[in-house]
Amino acid sequence: MAITIHENTGIFHLHNSLISYIIKTMPNGQMGQLYYGPAIRDREDFSHLMERGHRDMAPCIFDGDTTFSLEHLKQEYPVFGTGDMRYPAYEIRRENGSCITSFLYKGYQIYQGKKELPGLPAVYVESETEAVTLELHLEDPVIRSSLTLVYTIFEALPVIIRSARFQNQGEEDWELTRAMSICLDLPDSDYDMVDLAGASLRERYVDTHPIHQGVQSIHSMRGHSSHQFNPFLALKRRDAGERAGEVIGISLVYSGNFLAQAEMDTMGTLRVMAGIHPQGFLWRVKRGESFVTPEAVMVYSRQGLNGMSQVYHKLYRTRLARGYWRDRERPILINNWEATYMDFDEEKICSIARKAAELGIELFVLDDGWFGERDDDTSSLGDWQPNPRKLPRGIRGIAEKVTAMGMAFGLWFEPEMVSRQSRLYEAHPDWVLGSTDRPICAGRHQYVLDFSKDEVVDYIGDQMEAILGSSPISYVKWDMNRSISDLFSAGRDREHQGTVYHRQILGIYKLYDRLTKAFPKVLFESCASGGGRFDPGILYYAPQGWASDDTDGAERVKIQYGTSYVYPISSIGSHVSAVPNHQTFRRTPLSSRAACAYFGTFGYELDLNLLTEEEQEEVKEQIRFMKEHRKFLHSGTFYRLRSPFEGKTAGKEAAWMVVSQDRRRALVAVFRLLQPVNAGYDRLKLEGLCPELEYRICDRDYTCFGDELMEAGLILSDWANGVRTSPVVQGDFRARLIEIDSL
């Protein structure tokens, strides 16, 4: 691993054994992009990779030199207004209205390791030898301000992490109206763009489409990363698949409004950017002040989409998630939500808890409805005191009863919201985001608290600390059930309003940081009306997140398949829920619901007392199975084998597997969404096994070497025939788990 500087030629070469990233100081003093891809041998000069050509119609910086136009050169952090007509990475508006700036190279700094980002989540290192960081220092002498481009490259991973820092060192205040975290200019556009799109109850579906001339983008302007798009995109070569081919992934470590886009120009080159969405963003930077962008994580893979995902999984599981629960086995939980909703009392909760303890569950979670006068979703958010009618001895009383049964106790909060019918709203209507002279949009009968105000964050934090500190609580489900629609911070001046979206997220991070430090052994699980804020920024504070409010066993296959493009399965909250399912009204077998949930944190969301004795015995076996396998499932290598979105299995089947780190064991899951009739023969090629090892397969009487299972495949024809005489259970919404162990 190295960052090699060739000062005579202005070349900066970031490289390890897997990748190279090459930057050059251009003749006009700005920074140019020369190469990003597989590792190449270092040399003194790569200037020949800067392609210049005669462009009659293009504006040129050097009068008379028609070959040097920023409209056609590949750049590191471009700006609009100095000849480049494409979308810029940043924009600064001066007091006179000018948006023309030019940051020129002044110097650099290299250091081992990686620094924290103030107030923002970020990837970290545990040893300075893991990574090395380059800071490029640029300066605009007209406005006497600096721009620092920060690059961290890891020693053993094809990862480069980028962010930018602006600092005003002059006399004139200016406004930052756009500040991307990353810009990558590529020499061609022969890619498909892959993103994770959807809506509430169908989050992170895989969406693949060819790059075409113009801009294709994903975004959120909802105040959170959203159900509609995840802050991630990948560029894959048209022939790339799961196993092989070139893929570039870009993931933004941020939980608020974002924009990620790919722009193909008229010459077929491609510009990719990701960062805070400029809509509603205007940040005044005064003398001596600075602004830091969130960081973007860029991954390069020649092993296809699986290769890209496995890098993100390892990095995010071990160097983004943090704290006491990062590497520990997660407790198997039961949540009362779909069993009772808000209609419960202490005895009803205890009856479910007693059965849960009997079956081997380790954590009971009390969901919404325990506080204020909350019997439905019209009241009491913000009044975080227990309802004595439901819980006569308060949270401490019910928590002590549950822990006496041998389980840990967890609690639901929605700290960022307030109900109109609440004591908090009556006392502080000015703490709600929204215009004071117009009606405010309500969503789910609730408003968004103004977390851009420190006093609001502190008030909610004090209430949560009082509850967590006075009761034996081991887990918090942190929910967020509506978007920001009315962006206005009451009592603040005009200048402040353009900062509210970003300050809102900084306030959420501040509260997370406070509580995780005050209660380091509490397991926090993020939730946002399901998967509406399932992003790397939140993963920094909460090592697992509720993937979707859709708990249907068949739908969850698609949701968790898409989620696995970026996020480790140790971060995916997954439950076995009741049937008929409360979202799709579908009946799926108990075994199928569990098979999907195993590839996540695993838990239950139903009334266990309503199960038959046979079903309760099945639940016992599922819990035993997960306790046996969860450590290797959460630390192993995940492979997607068949897609429910593309190819001949689209809408019909999906398959994936996890291989242990020593490659001596694996668990394969095959999901049948729709039953075929009179189908042909079927083989499933496995991944990640050791070719030389001989493996025992749980459902057959012969052994196979790893190379056979990966090249010839695992025969599944007994499941594909669709005939009543098949020895394997047939039908829609079925799952098949296959355990593989080395001899």
Q: State the Cα–Cα distance between residues 36 and 15, nearest whole angstrom.
A: 10
Phi-psi region of 278 (alpha: psi -120 to 50; beta: other; left: phi over 0): alpha
Cα–Cα distances (Å) from 443 to 414, 417, 480, 482, 483, in that order, read 14, 10, 11, 6, 8
Q: Is 441 helix (H, G, I), strand (E, B) or coil?
A: coil
Say how many C-beta atoms besides its own lie within 10 A of residue 682's C-beta: 17
Contacts with 410 (C-beta within 8 Å, 6 or more apart), sequence order: 333, 363, 364, 365, 366, 473, 474, 475, 476, 477, 523
Q: How far apart are the first and last CA of the chain?
A: 38
Look up 732 and say whether it is catalytic.
no
The helix (H) or strand (E) run that includes residue 203 is: strand 202-210
Tell how strand 296-301 and strand 290-292 pair up.
unpaired
Burial class (CB in 10 A: 0-12, 13-18, 19+), 585: exposed
Greatest CA separation found in the chain?
A: 86
User: How far apart are the C-alpha atoms of 384 and 371, rounded to whole Å?
Assistant: 6
Point out which residues pair with 163 in neighbouring strands.
150
Question: Would you state the structure tokens that stand for residue 111, as one six-digit string?
Answer: 């250091």
Q: Residue 464: which of 386, 409, 387, 401 has the closest Cα?
A: 386
Q: Is 549 a catalytic residue?
A: yes
Is 175 exposed, middle or buried (CB count within 10 Å of its CB: 0-12, 13-18, 19+)?
middle
DSSP letter at 727? S
CA–CA separation, 45 and 569 (whole Å): 43
Tell me how crowded residue 376 is: count the other CB atoms within 10 A of its CB. Answer: 13
Cβ contacts of 97 within 8 Å, gap of 6 or more = none
Query: How many other C-beta atoms lie within 10 A of the C-beta of residue 244?
Result: 16
Grouping H, G, I as helix, E, B as strand and the rest as coil, residue 325 is: coil
Q: Which two tokens stand for residue 401?
A: 């009863």
Q: 225 CB contacts (<8 Å, ≥6 apart)? A: 231, 254, 255, 256, 258, 532, 533, 534, 535, 537
The alpha carbons of the chain give a radius of gyration, in whole angstroms, of: 27
Which position among 195, 367, 383, 549 bears the catalytic label?
Answer: 549
Residues 6+ apart with CB under 8 A from 458: none
Report helix, strand or coil for 453: coil
**Catalytically annotated residue among 479, 535, 550, 552:** 479
The residues near 271 (Cβ < 8 Å, ≥ 6 apart) are: 78, 86, 87, 183, 184, 185, 186, 262, 263, 265
What is the set of active-site residues? 479, 549
